[in-house]
Copies of this chain bind each other. A is one copy, B any other.
């Protein structure tokens, strides 16, 4: 990140006693800045507010966060890049307990200027991670600061030709990529894993699901046994910064960039996800 605002001040330091450091007691958002605008910012802030409610962290407020973003963009002159928002339960004494009547959350907003990522025209190569994703219904769906499984999953490979690693839970259910949600096309169905026990309820995932509905594509949220992946017709991953990345190779299995993936990329491009333009 090129610049940060910590609790509305230009600062790159946080207290060592912050519960975000101590316990990962907080949430984050990563938003695409495209042509001077934060894409789907309302959706991101709505998800952050729901997460704060679930963790009983006072939500810092959408207006305040958007003011921070505008200030960083203005100072920086950035038109394209990444905005990161971190909200924690703030500083506190040692121990898991906190006084629910006296929580002062910490808000960090960061900006990094960067060119929008390019969708590889022939699709991406992915691998299966051996690190498993933790299941926990009380945390599932949220983008919490507890992300060690993703860190360990991403550390499994260094080969730059591999763009993403797919992760399963301990039962062998596909959950998502280290940094993305995953969809498969199997016969007539578009399928994505539910986010009720593990995984993140991605904003781009929700946009793809809406687009599928509008296109009349039969969508199911259901468990996907990771061992069935070599038999699926199409596979793609999504996140807020990349849009849709078609998967063309998983280990020795190759996939075509199929008609469902193409239709959804066109639908997202029409909604302003410029990375999906073909």
Contacts and interface: CB of A to CB of B under 8 A. Distances in A.
Contacts of A102: none
A150 interface: yes
A112 interface: yes
Contact of A135 (B56, B135, B152, B155): B135
A15 B16 contact: no
**Copies of the polypeptide in the assembly:** 2
A18 B12 CA distance: 10
A110 B131 CA distance: 32
A153 to B, nearest CB: 8
B21 A18 contact: yes
Nearest to A131: B138
Interface residues of A toward B: which range? 35 or more
B152 A138 contact: yes
Interface string A136-159: 111100001111111111110010
A112 B94 CA distance: 9
A23 B150 contact: yes
A138 to B, nearest CB: 5
Among A55, A97, A146, the most chain B Cβ lie within 10 Å of the Cβ of: A146
Interface in A1-60: 1, 4, 6, 11-25, 28, 30, 55-56
Nearest to A112: B94
A97 B154 contact: yes
B145 A149 contact: no
A178 B6 CA distance: 30
A150 B24 CA distance: 11
Interface string A76-87: 000000101010
A100 interface: yes
Contacts of A12: 15-17
Nearest to A19: B151
Contacts of A18: 21
Interface of A: 1, 4, 6, 11-25, 28, 30, 55-56, 82, 84, 86, 88-89, 94-98, 100, 108, 110, 112, 131-139, 144-155, 158, 170, 178-179, 197
25 contacts: A11-B16, A12-B17, A13-B13, A13-B14, A14-B14, A16-B86, A20-B21, A22-B145, A23-B146, A23-B150, A24-B148, A94-B110, A97-B155, A98-B151, A131-B138, A132-B136, A133-B136, A134-B135, A134-B139, A135-B135, A136-B149, A137-B170, A138-B149, A139-B148, A139-B149
